[in-house]
Amino acid sequence: MNGPLRWLLATVSQLHEETAGVKTISFDVPGWRGHMAGQHVDIRLTAEDGYVAQRSYSLASPAGTDPRIQLTVERVDDGEVSPFLLDELRVGDSIELRGPIGGYFTWSPGTAGPLMLIAGGSGIAPLMSMLRTRALASSRATARLLYSSRSERHIIYRGELDRLRRARDGFVLTHTLTREVPDGWTGERGRIGRPMLMQRGFAPRERPHVFVCGPTPFVDAIADHLVAIGHEESSIRTERFGPTGESK
Amino acid sequence: MHITREFKGKARPDAATRDRLPPGQFVTSDFPILTAGPTQRTGLNDWTLSVQLGGKLLARWDWKEFAALPQTEMKTDIHCVTKWSKLDTRWRGVTIDDLLQAAGLAESPAGFVMAHCDGGYSTNYTIADLIDRRAMVATHYEDSPLPASHGGPARMLVPHLYFWKSAKWVRRLAFKEQNVPGFWESLGYHLRGDPWREQRYSGDE
C-alpha cells in the first residue's frame, strides 16, 4: 500500500438527480491517489456538537487518477447520512472522504476473459465504474450487464447505458423490470432467475469474471443461482448492502 | 475536524451506548450480511475442524466430536468495519483455549494463527488475540444453530476485533511463527483491526 489513507476534503462540484431518490454527487478531491473500478470510499460527516457519522459509498466514476470523482447515492428513508447527502448538500459544500478502499470487488481492462455484471437497483454504481473504465480504455473485452430495476423510472444511468450499448463494442445490455412493466417493453420482466442468467449471461465454460452488486437478498439469491448453474465460486465476486430483514 | 454544513445527524445514542461504540460506528438492530462471494453450505456430515501447528496436523474433530467439547456462552458487542455495531449478541461455541487443550496443548503456543475457511477466505491473528477466553469457534447464535448466511455451521468469533476477523465457515486453524496477512489484510485492510483504535485499513495507526 502507499501509506495511510488520509482524510481528504472533498468539495461538491455538481449534483445530478438520476431518479427519484437517487443522486450522483461529483466531488473535487485534491490529493486523490486514484482508484480501480469497483472500489469505494468512506465519508465522514461532523455536526457542530462534534457528533460524527461515517458511511461507505461505491465510486461510480471510471478508474484512474482524476481527482474529480463521483458517488451515486440512494436515499435510505430512515437513514442518517443519505437523506443529508440528497437533501442538504449543495454545490460548493465540503465533506471529509478517504479512499480508495477494497481490492477484491475490482476489475481492470487488462483482465483476460469476459465481464459479467449483475446489478440490483443502486447496486449498479460500482458496475457502472467498470463499464465506464472499459469504454474509456476502448477495451474489446466482451461485457454483459443484467440490470434489475423496480420500474422503468427507477433505472439509473439509463441514457448512458444506451449509448454504451449502441457503441457495439462487445457490450450487451439487458434490463429487467420487477414491478411495473410498461406496454411495449422489450426487455426482460421479473426477477433474475436461472433461465435469465443462462440466456443473458455468459456460460460457465466461457469463464467470465462475475460481479454481483445489490441489496443483500438479491445478491444472495443470484450468487446461489450462479453456483447452481455451474459458475466457479471463485469467479463470483459480490457486494451486498442494505438490511437483511433479520434482527437476529 | 471539519464541520459539515447543515449536518445534524440523528438522535444521539445515550451515554451508556456511546461508551460501548468505537469511533465511527453506529448501532444497528439488523444483522447485515457481508461476504466477498457466494454463501458456503457445508453439510454437518462433511464438516471437520483441524488445528495445525507449524504445518503439522495436531487435531481434527468431526461435527459430533466438536459438539462434545466444552461449550461456552458469550454475550458481546460486535463491530463491523463497514461501520455498523450490534450490541449484546449472544453466542455459543468452543473457546480457543478449550480447543487448544483438547488438541493436547497444555500451554498455548507463541506466535500467530491463520483461520482458513470454506470458499477460500482466510484471516490472521496474533495468538494473544485468540486466548484468555476472548475468542471462540461459534456454532450457535441466540440459542439457534448458526445459519449458513451468518457463517454456519461454525465461524470464528473474535469480538474485540472488527468483524471480518470473525471468519465465517471456518475449517482450519494454522498456528505458525509468522504473521501472514489473510484475505482482506492483503487487500488494504488492517493487519490487526482493533475497532477502539479505528484500525480499519492498512496504514491506520
Q: Are the beta carbons of B36 and A237 separated by less than 8 Å?
A: yes
Considering A66, A101, A136, which residue would you say is the last residue of a domain? A101
pLDDT of residue A246: 59
**Residue B114 domain flag:** yes
Q: Do B202 and A223 touch (CB under 8 A)?
A: no
Cell numbers standing for residue A7 = 482524510
Quote the pLDDT of residue A64.
97
For chain A, give the percent of residues with pLDDT over 70: 97
> A31-67 pLDDT, tens per residue?
999 999 999 999 999 999 999 999 999 999 999 999 9
Closest-CA distance of chain A to residue B182, Å? 13
Same domain flag for A94 and A126? no
CA distance A228 to A231: 7
Q: With CB atoms and an 8 Å threshold, state whether A5 touches B203.
A: yes
* C-beta atoms of A236 and B38 within 8 A: yes
CATH number at residue A38: 2.40.30.10
Per residue in B118-144, pLDDT (tens digit) is: 999 999 999 999 999 999 999 999 999
> Does B147 reside within a domain?
yes
The dihedrals phi and psi of B179, each to the nearest 5 degrees, come to: -90, 100
Counts for chain A of helices (H) and strands (E), in that order: 5, 12
Residue A245 in this model has a pLDDT that exceeds 80:
no
pLDDT mean over B24-28 = 93
Cβ <8 Å between B33 and A5: no
Give the DSSP H or E segment for A76.
Answer: none
User: Do A169 and A217 sit in the same domain of this protein?
Assistant: yes
A108, part of any domain: no
Between chains, do B201 and A101 touch, taking CB under 8 Å as contact? yes
Q: Is there a single domain that holds both residue A236 and residue A139? A: yes
Question: Pairing state of beta strands B72-79 and B136-141?
Answer: unpaired
Distance CA A160, CA A143 (A): 15
- Give Cβ neighbours of residue A195 (< 8 Å, ≥ 6 apart): none
In a domain, A237, yes or no: yes
Residues of A in contact with B200 (CB under 8 A): 42
Q: Directed axis angle between helix A124-136 and helix A158-166, to 10°?
A: 40
* Number of neighbouring beta carbons within 10 Å of residue A164: 20
Same domain, A78 and A177: no
On whether both A88 and A141 belong to a single domain, the answer is: no
Tell me if A244 and B29 make a contact (CB, 8 A cut-off).
no
Fill in the DSSP letter of residue B30: S
> Does A225 fall in a domain?
yes
Q: What is the ipTM of this complex?
A: 0.92
To the nearest whole Å, the CA of A168 is away from the closest chain B CA by 31
Q: Strand, coil or helix: what is A43?
A: strand
- Same domain for A26 and A137: no
Residue B189 belongs to domain spanning: 57-197
CB nearest B7 (choices: A1, A84, A227)? A84
Q: Tell which of A71, A101, A131 closes a domain.
A: A101
CA distance B41 to B33: 15
Q: Which residues pair with A27 in a beta bridge?
A: A12, A69
Q: Is A224 part of a structural domain of the chain?
A: yes
Q: Is residue A109 in some structural domain?
A: no
pLDDT of residue B35: 87
How many domains is chain B built from?
1
pLDDT band of A248, cuts 50, 70, 90: very low
Residue B51 lies in a domain: no
Taking residues B181-197, report their average pLDDT: 97
Interface test with B, best of A36, A52, A93 (most B CBs within 10 A): A52
* A175: helix, strand or coil: strand
> A1 pLDDT band (50/70/90 cuts)?
very low
A42 vs A101: CA distance, rounded Å: 8
Mean pLDDT of A131-149: 96
Chain B partners within 8 Å of A96 (Cβ): 2, 4
Asked if residue A236 and residue A119 are part of one domain, the reply reads yes
Using DSSP's 3-state secondary structure scheme, residue B146 falls into coil
Number of CB atoms found within 10 A of residue A135's CB: 18
Please check whether residues A153 and A64 belong to one and the same domain: no
What integer is the mean pLDDT of A71-76?
Answer: 96
* Residues A159, A132 share a domain: yes
Q: Is residue B142 part of a domain?
A: yes
In a domain, B136, yes or no: yes
CATH of residue A134 = 3.40.50.80
Beta-sheet pairing, B136-141 with B26-27: unpaired
Interatomic CA distance for residues A201 and A226, integer angstroms: 10
Per-residue pLDDT at A80 exceeds 50: yes
Q: Is residue A248 part of a domain?
A: no
Query: Which pLDDT score is estimated for B8?
Result: 94
Query: What CATH number does the domain containing B155 carry?
Result: 3.90.420.10
Name every chain A residue with its beta carbon within 8 A of the beta carbon of B23.
52
Look up residue B102 and give its three cell numbers.
Answer: 483438547
* CA closest to B89 among chain A residues: A248
- pLDDT band (50, 70, 90) for residue A2: low
In this predicted structure, what is the pLDDT of residue B33?
84
Which residue among B3, B36, B187 places its CB closest to the CB of A46? B3
The answer to whether residues A143 and A36 belong to one domain is no
pLDDT tens sequence across A107-127: 999 999 999 999 999 999 999
Asked if residue A106 belongs to a domain, the reply is: no
Q: How many domains does chain A have?
A: 2
For residue A221, the surrounding DSSP H or E stretch is helix A216-228
Residue A42 lies in a domain: yes
Domain coverage including residue A38 = 8-101
Residues 6+ apart with CB under 8 A from A128: A60, A72, A156, A157, A160
Strand positions, DSSP E, chain A: 8-19, 22-28, 40-46, 52-58, 68-74, 94-101, 115-120, 143-149, 171-177, 188-189, 209-215, 236-241
Q: Which residues contact B95 (CB under 8 A, 6 or more apart)?
A: B70, B72, B133, B135, B136
Q: Stretch A188-195: mean pLDDT, rounded?
A: 98
Specify if B102 maps to a domain: yes
Question: B107 CA to chain A: closest CA distance, Å?
Answer: 36
Decide: B38 and A226 in contact? Cβ < 8 Å. Answer: yes
Question: Do A93 and A120 reside in the same domain of the chain?
Answer: no
Closest approach of A2 to chain B, Cα-based (Å): 8
Alpha-carbon separation of residue A20 from A16, A127, A215 (angstroms): 11, 20, 18
Residue at grid coordinates 495468538: B127
Return phi, psi of residue A84, to 5°: -65, -45
B93 within some domain: yes
Is the same domain home to A81 and A137?
Answer: no
Report the pLDDT averaged over residues A15-43.
97
